[in-house]
Amino acid sequence: MYVYNLVDQSLVNQRVQQFRDQVRRRLSGELNEEEFKPLRLMNGLYLQLHAYMLRVAIPYGTLSSKQMRALAHIAVRYDKGYGHFTTRQNLQFNWPKLKETPDILADLADVQMHAFQTSGNCIRNVTADQYAGVAVEEIADPRITAEVVRQWSTLHPEFSFLPRKFKIAVTGSKRDRAAVRVHDIGLIIKINEAGEMGYEVIVGGGLGRTPIVGVTIREFLPQQFLLSYLESILRIYNQIGRRDNIYKARIKIVIHELGAKEFTRRVEKEWKTIRDTAIDLPVGEYERIRAFFAPLPYQSLPKNDAGFSHLEFENQDFSHWVRGNTLPHRQSGYSIANISLKPIGGIPGDASAKQMEVVADLAEKFSFGEIRVAHEQNLVLPHVKQTDLYSIWNTLKEHNLATPNLGLISDIIACPGMDYCSLATARSIPLAQDISNRFSNLRRQNDIGELSVNISGCINACGHHHVGHIGLLGVDRKGEEYYQVTIGGSADENASIGEIIGPAIPYDEVVDAIERVVETYVDLRAKNESFIDAYRRVGKQPFKENLYVTN
Amino acid sequence: METKVISANRLEDGIVVYITKDNNWSECISDAEVFNDEAACDEALSKAYTAEEACIVVGSYLVEIEQKGEYYNPTKYREFIRVIGPTVRPDLARQVRS
């Protein structure tokens, strides 16, 4: 993992002191709310429905056991004993006090963490594949690129006042687990015919009010030019992005209105003026950063351990968890272990302080002290020996972290919704719980197969409902909670925006409606055909007909 | 005019509060002063803005309620959730008498 040097540490320490003084001046009245609000947003501090909310950055979803323990400590010391992992791989605390937030930031700084740029019109947390460095099919580790982009974008003097927020995601695999095509900039690592590393550059993806899949503006950008090219994109956006209407200020609108061809022409023209300058990182600096992500001292182990196979055979529950929640690892004899934060009937993405500590301990003992946060709001132990999986599973079970539902219908992605968020128009969590309870039967879930349900409590789409196989958007209809249903969305390498199926449905009818959608799929699917493939084959009509059937 | 109360967030900790008859701020909606005409609302908002300038609260606004005896129920669900806390965490429910 990347480790701060003196410069990095000074930066976070200075920011803590700066914010401490800003809070003092706010509480004394030297700063009014209008003056203070942009300052607190620069430190990820929102004012929400019930209290302040602090969004802590977890760069490309990677954190250490020590950092996870610090988050647990903050949850207990300053909050109400829990936190919420988000769809951008960050963590949110829902109850911090303004007067204590400088102390929280100081505790974060002690473990090389911060809350910079998790809010505001700036470049936000860079996200990446949660299996970075360990996925079998990976072309190259995206964490190095993500770390380079993180450092470049942190307190970038030219891009601290963009027209709107800006989100960048990186993937190093053909299988896109970072949803790069629905980010403002998505980077796909590629190796060209000459064996050189570079990126496919995708721009203008996004969700929210105007969901759009991004366009490729460059098929192959050599790695050495990454920063100058990103700089060019941001410069053009900064110049022409709208500032008169926050709903039309994202880069996706710029590209939509200008056209991808013209946008690309402007970017390439800008790039010509700044490539081969000091903006691009020297090779030595790439190597310095790469060294932090060097292969770990894995043991040489057989691909399949007889003892492990026996345990799988003997214990059905363990077997289900292995089959559902673990994946093969690049290193023989190792596995990637997913920790579900979606217990049946639970709150998606929430973890108690105790659960955080348990995960920290497991990571320290079994995963080289490393944890990942997935944008699907689950956690990952990325480097575990196959022979340790049984011990890990037993501990996870004790703490309600072993639900074997990865990628299944109860692995629901949901924003905090109107239970927490001042922007929300409807609740999302109770609906997630009701759907989870309805489909609690594991055998049925596995029979249904891979099926993502994403729930957003408002048009801002923090639950990524547009790219759910089934998406639910909460709306307010004369004071009642209604939900618009979309089907056919996908966040992966075949990204698509879900289609609205018909009129919104009242809360009390949604779970039954989902049931009918699932039954429709089960009835018409071909052998081994997934939900999304079946939908793409038959279209929305069969689902629409059954969704709105009245008894 | 509908019956209203004034709500805000306490500056130092962000907790939801309601302005009371004696110009204090209570976490309990049933302690809130109730307003039934525009003039009273305007006067109360003015006091609320004074409290904002005094760094006691932030973000004051009027909340429509239905008054049933000693119980004050916001008419909008969002405001009801602000009273009771997250519906999915009854263990975090605020102590309210209404």
| DSSP letter string, A217-254 | EEEEEEGGGHHHHHHHHHHHHHHHS--S-GGG-SHHHH
Domain enclosing residue B26, as ranges:
3-92
Contact assessment for residue A205 and residue A184, using Cβ atoms and an 8 Å cutoff: yes
Query: Are the beta carbons of B9 and A481 separated by less than 8 Å?
Result: no
User: Which domains does chain A carry?
Assistant: 6-110 (3.90.480.20), 127-292 (3.30.413.10), 306-398 (3.90.480.20), 413-547 (3.30.413.10)
Q: For residue A475, is it left (φ>0), alpha (ψ between -120 and 50) or beta?
A: beta
Min Cα–Cα distance to chain B from A299, Å: 44
Query: Are the beta carbons of B58 and A99 separated by less than 8 Å?
Result: no
Q: How many CB pairs under 8 A join A and B?
A: 71
Let me know if residue B98 belongs to a domain.
no
Q: What is the pLDDT of residue A129?
A: 98
Which residues from B are below 8 Å from A48, CB to CB? 14
Secondary structure class of A200 (helix, strand, coil): strand
Let me know if residue B97 belongs to a domain.
no
C-alpha dihedral (A135, A320, A521, A514), degrees to nearest 10: -100
Nearest residue of chain A to residue B85 (CA atoms): A50
Query: Are the beta carbons of B14 and A419 separated by less than 8 Å?
Result: no
Residue B69 neighbours by CB under 8 Å, 6+ apart: none
Which residues from B are below 8 Å from A348, CB to CB? none
Min Cα–Cα distance to chain A from B10, Å: 8
Separation of CA A241 from chain center: 25
Which residues from B are below 8 Å from A49, CB to CB? 16, 78, 81-82
Q: Over the Cα atoms of chain A, what is R_g? A: 23
Query: Are the beta carbons of A97 and B89 separated by less than 8 Å?
Result: no
Chain A interface test: which of B10, B78, B82, B83 (most A C-beta within 10 Å):
B78
Q: What is the pLDDT of residue B86?
A: 96
Nearest residue of chain B to residue A51 (CA atoms): B14
Which residues from A are below 8 Å from B82, CB to CB? 49-50
Min Cα–Cα distance to chain B from A41, Å: 15
Pairing of strands A470-477, A453-456: parallel
Nearest residue of chain B to residue A419 (CA atoms): B86
Nearest to A396 by CA among A351, A455, A441, A433: A351
Q: Over the Cα atoms of chain B, what is R_g? A: 13
pLDDT of residue B96 exceeding 70, the answer is no
Query: Are the beta carbons of B55 and A29 separated by less than 8 Å?
Result: yes
| Sequential DSSP letters for A469-517 | SEEEEEEEETTEEEEEEEE--B-STT-BPPEE-SS-EEHHHHHHHHHHH
Min Cα–Cα distance to chain A from B5, Å: 17
User: Looking at the partner chain, which of B12, B14, B54 has a beta carbon nearest the beta carbon of A47?
Assistant: B14
Q: What is the mean pLDDT of chain B?
A: 92
Chain A interface test: which of B89, B91, B94, B96 (most A C-beta within 10 Å):
B89
Q: Return the exposure string of A82-96: e unless at least 16 CB atoms fall within 10 Å of the residue's CB, then b.
A: bbbbbbbbbbbbbbb
Average pLDDT over residues B4-21: 96
Which residues from B are below 8 Å from A102, CB to CB? none
User: Looking at the partner chain, which of B53, B87, B89 has a beta carbon nearest the beta carbon of A427?
Assistant: B87
Secondary structure class of B77 (helix, strand, coil): helix
Q: What is the pLDDT of residue B97?
A: 38
Domain count, chain B: 1
Nearest to A266 by CA among A223, A244, A237: A237
Task: Give me the tens of pLDDT residue by residue for chain A, a chain 551 residues long.
Answer: 999 999 999 999 999 999 999 999 999 999 999 999 999 999 999 999 999 999 999 999 999 999 999 999 999 999 999 999 999 999 999 999 999 999 999 999 999 999 999 999 999 999 999 999 999 999 999 999 999 999 999 999 999 999 999 999 999 999 999 999 999 999 999 999 999 999 999 999 999 999 999 999 999 999 999 999 999 999 999 999 999 999 999 999 999 999 999 999 999 999 999 998 889 999 899 999 999 999 999 999 998 888 888 888 899 999 999 999 999 999 999 999 999 999 999 999 999 999 999 999 999 999 999 999 999 999 999 999 999 999 999 999 999 999 999 999 999 999 999 999 999 999 999 999 999 999 999 999 999 999 999 999 999 999 999 999 999 999 999 999 999 999 999 999 999 999 999 999 999 999 999 999 999 999 999 999 999 999 999 999 999 999 887 65
Q: What is the pLDDT of residue A261?
A: 97
Residue with tokens 């920790």: A339
Which residues from A are below 8 Å from B8, CB to CB? none
Min Cα–Cα distance to chain B from A23, Å: 9
Q: What is the pLDDT of residue B98?
A: 38
Which residues from B are below 8 Å from A97, CB to CB? 12-14
- Reading the block at residue A442, the tokens are 């594991």
Which residues from B are below 8 Å from A47, CB to CB? 9, 14, 58-59
Nearest to A457 by CA among A434, A432, A437: A432
Query: Are the beta carbons of A433 and B12 separated by less than 8 Å?
Result: no
Interface confidence, given as ipTM, is: 0.95
Which residues from B are below 8 Å from A427, CB to CB? 81, 87-88
Contact assessment for residue A528 and residue A507, using Cβ atoms and an 8 Å cutoff: no
CA–CA separation, B45 vs A82, rounded Å? 35
Q: What is the pLDDT of residue B93?
A: 81
Let me know if residue B79 belongs to a domain.
yes
Min Cα–Cα distance to chain B from A128, Å: 30
Residue A446 neighbours by CB under 8 Å, 6+ apart: A324, A408
Q: What is the pLDDT of residue A374?
A: 97
DSSP-derived secondary structure letter, B96: -
User: Looking at the partner chain, which of B52, B59, B81 has a beta carbon nearest the beta carbon of A418?
Assistant: B81
Cα angle value A368/A371/A372 (rounded, 5°): 140
Query: Are the beta carbons of A27 and B11 separated by less than 8 Å?
Result: yes
pTM over 0.95: yes
